[in-house]
Amino acid sequence: MSFLFRIPVLLLSLLLTFTSAQSSNNASAVYVYDGSDSTQFVFAINIDKSTGDLYFHLSSPAGNSWVGVGIGEEMKNAAMFIAYPAANGHDVTISPRMGSGHTEPTYDSNIKIDKLSGNGLTGANTIDGNDPGSTGNIVADGVCRGCAKMGSGTIEASTTQPFIFAVGPVFPRMASDSLSADLSRHMLYGQFTMDTTAALSDSGGAVPLGPYQNKDASAATGTTMDNDPAPRIHGIVMSVVFILAFPLGAVLLRVWNKVKAHIAIQVIGLVLFCMAFAGGSVVSMQYNRSKHFNSAHQVIGILLLIALFAQLGLGAYNHSIYKRTQQKTIFGKIHTYLGPISMLVGIINGYLGFRLAGTLRTTRLTSPTLLTFSSQAPKCLQSPTRSSSSSSQSYSSAYGAYLIFVAARRPRKQRVTSTRCLADLLLEGLPAHRRLMLSRMCRCSDLRVRRVYREWTRQLCSHGRWSDAGTVCSCCACVWNQESALGE
């Protein structure tokens, strides 16, 4: 009899256990965001009141590079769960992070997250489709230990607990097992609230099961499609500076001897460089991988800034000396070769910038150009996924030949210089004050002043006012003939 009596007791105990577990599982709050393309963002929670553990289900379209939720009204001081594809492309990495503002959140080892599976969960912590435009989902099921008391205050008993959510862009793709992997800026973000009192379980907890419908959660507010143009503008402006502006300024001086145009173009290029440098510095502060300014791209960028200001100073100082003495200086030689070297390093640094930003599609377009210049990174540039077209190779070869031409070509001699050299030879036998008079005529950069001196000297020669008029007149004749030939 005793055995038969125990059977109903055992069944009743099992029924109560199942009912308790079912009740625990039903204690949940669910937020669902329906996208315009019939995709869904889902976040469902269950809170173990006794431990403060937060059980959660997080899912989003797999076409995005990552998905995340934060506890709080804003990113600052918000405890976040960021999910993205693991290195094998099938599993999911759940990274606990802490926000510090409108910047990339940082991995926080004090936030403990355990991934969960089984107990009715289907497809837990896996990705069914991880291609751009995929209709599959990235699914993250886990428990955050003690997270109900983290972030922007407790969430144990709030009927309007604020949360933030965001999804990453389609490109660049992510695949990493690292909990501190680099994240790209979000493509979509927004806010919502949940009644967390409806998600409390007195003892024990479990990940809420589907199907998921909006329950004890508000509609999304502040939903924004994000598109930060600053990195793109930085790259475009820097490309214009090093591929167009600086080379054009060099050609204007080396080929056409346009000194003023050379100065104007190079100063404009330097101003654009400084503006893009400032914009890049602001963007760098938003990401963990760049906020310390210790990457190769950033270090080279700082060195280029110093080199370009040195280039400006060398050019101005050499020009001022040359105007006084008509003599070349070591500063001019340094200026001549520092320019092409800076252009070359700037183009290589552009490639490093694309790698730092993770824009692989752009890198494929620029790699052929850099193959001509960079012997420092042949392994990176010879990747099978970055094959070059014949047109790109032709362009890079032509541009390399152009830089060599700019560096090696000497500027055309100025008309005043050639006239001055001939005049100095013919004036060697004249007295100092007479030699100075004619020398002023030859050296003066103002054409109108030279013509006044020339007419004065012509009158002196025609009236025989100088005893050595023959030498003077011969010199004048040579000067006049040269200037006439040059169209003055």
Instruction: Write out the two tokens for 488.
Output: 């003055």
- The predicted pLDDT at position 39 comes to 63
Q: From the CB of residue 226, how many other CB atoms can be counted at a distance below 10 Å?
A: 12
What pLDDT band is residue 386 in, cutting at 50, 70 and 90? very low
- The predicted pLDDT at position 254 comes to 85
> Nearest 10 degrees: CA dihedral of 399, 401, 404, 405?
-100
Classify strands 79-85 and 188-194 as parallel, antiparallel or unpaired: unpaired
Task: Return all residues near 49 (Cβ < 8 A) that are at least 6 apart.
Answer: 156, 200, 201, 202, 203
CATH 2.60.40.1210 holds for 24-225: yes
Question: Is residue 95 over pLDDT 60?
Answer: yes
Residue type, 77: N
- The predicted pLDDT at position 140 comes to 95
User: Between 149 and 284, where is the model more confident?
Assistant: 284
User: Between 26 and 434, where is the model more confident?
Assistant: 26
Are 110 and 125 in contact by the 8 Å Cβ rule? The answer is: no
Q: What percent of the chain is modeled with pLDDT above 70? A: 64
Tell me, rounded to whole angstroms, the distance of Cα 125 from its chain centroid.
Answer: 32
- The predicted pLDDT at position 309 comes to 97
Instruction: Write out the two tokens for 391.
Output: 């047109």
User: Between 297 and 149, where is the model more confident?
Assistant: 297
What pLDDT band is residue 401 in, cutting at 50, 70 and 90? low
- The predicted pLDDT at position 58 comes to 95
- The predicted pLDDT at position 164 comes to 95
Instruction: Write out the two tokens for 77.
Output: 């001081």
d(C-alpha 440, C-alpha 431), whole Å? 14
pLDDT tens digits for range 186-207: 999 999 999 998 999 887 889 9
Mean of the per-residue pLDDT values of the chain: 76
Report domain extents, the chain: 24-225, 230-408, 415-485
Alpha carbon distances (Å) from 391 to 370, 395, 396, 398: 14, 6, 9, 10
CATH code at 230-408: 1.20.120
What pLDDT band is residue 147 in, cutting at 50, 70 and 90? confident
Angle between the N-to-C axes of helices 390-408 and 246-254, in degrees from 0 to 180, rounded to the nearest 10: 50
User: Between 421 and 118, where is the model more confident?
Assistant: 118
- The predicted pLDDT at position 7 comes to 53
